[in-house]
């Protein structure tokens, strides 16, 4: 299965950014774990990070024909980007939303996800495990 992984804004700061919340692992280390797990599952990944709403939409558009599933951490865009939501819906992507932290237990503005309604599932609060579980979930929908 071809799985597109998108990391949203500020996730390039992983390892440095509020490690008590987001952990000490860098984005490169997280991506290495994702690639290793995908290889174990026999899946193919394309991984991107973007700090821009339009950049994420362009990545979704450019990879939509290739991607059989999307694993996306929209980061802060989760809470207000109707544009990303519309792109996922409009492109017909089978999307899984992931978060390192449990957004349902954080500040009120983080408890809302405008992306969730266009996703098949949401995994949050597990750190890197949220992403790894999303890859497992992709395999389950691919069969």
What is the contact surface with ligand DQA in residues (CB under 6 A)? 10, 73, 75-76, 78, 99-101, 103, 110
The angle formed by the CA atoms of residues 54, 59 and 64, to the nearest 5 degrees, is: 125
Helical ranges in 47-97 per DSSP H = 53-63, 82-91
Say whether 22 is catalytic.
yes
State the minimum distance, in angstroms, from the CB of residue 100 to ligand DQA. Answer: 4
SS3 42: coil
Q: Is the Cβ–Cβ distance between 99 and 133 less than 8 Å?
A: no
Residue 31 three-state SS: helix
CB of 42 to ligand DQA, least distance (A): 26
Catalytic residue among 22, 77, 131, 137: 22
Q: In whole angstroms, what is the distance from residue 33 CA to residue 136 CA?
A: 13
Phi, psi of 72 (to 5 degrees): -130, 130
CB of 127 to ligand DQA, least distance (A): 9
CB of 34 to ligand DQA, least distance (A): 14
Catalytic residue among 7, 77, 99, 137: 99
Is the CB of 76 or the CB of 121 nearer to ligand DQA?
Answer: 76
Please, which residue, 1 or 5, has the CB nearer to ligand DQA? 5
**Which residue, 76 or 91, is less far from ligand DQA as judged by CB?**
76
99 among known catalytic residues: yes
Integer Cα distance of 80 and 84 in angstroms: 9
Q: Which residues are catalytic?
A: 22, 99
């Amino acid at each position: 299965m071809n799985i597109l992984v998108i990391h949203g804004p500020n996730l390039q700061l992983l390892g440095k950014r509020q490690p008590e919340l987001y952990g000490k692992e860098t984005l490169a280390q997280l991506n290495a774990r994702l690639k290793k797990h995908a290889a174990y599952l026999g899946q193919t990944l394309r991984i991107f990070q973007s700090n821009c709403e339009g950049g994420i939409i362009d990545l979704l558009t450019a990879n939509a024909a290739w991607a059989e599933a999307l694993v996306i951490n929209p980061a802060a865009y989760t809470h207000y980007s109707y544009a990303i939501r519309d792109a996922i819906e409009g492109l017909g992507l089978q999307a899984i939303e992931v978060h390192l932290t449990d957004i349902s237990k954080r500040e009120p503005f983080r408890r809302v996800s405008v992306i969730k309604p266009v996703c098949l599932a949401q995994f949050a609060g597990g750190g890197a495990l949220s992403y790894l579980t999303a890859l497992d979930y992709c395999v389950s929908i691919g069969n």
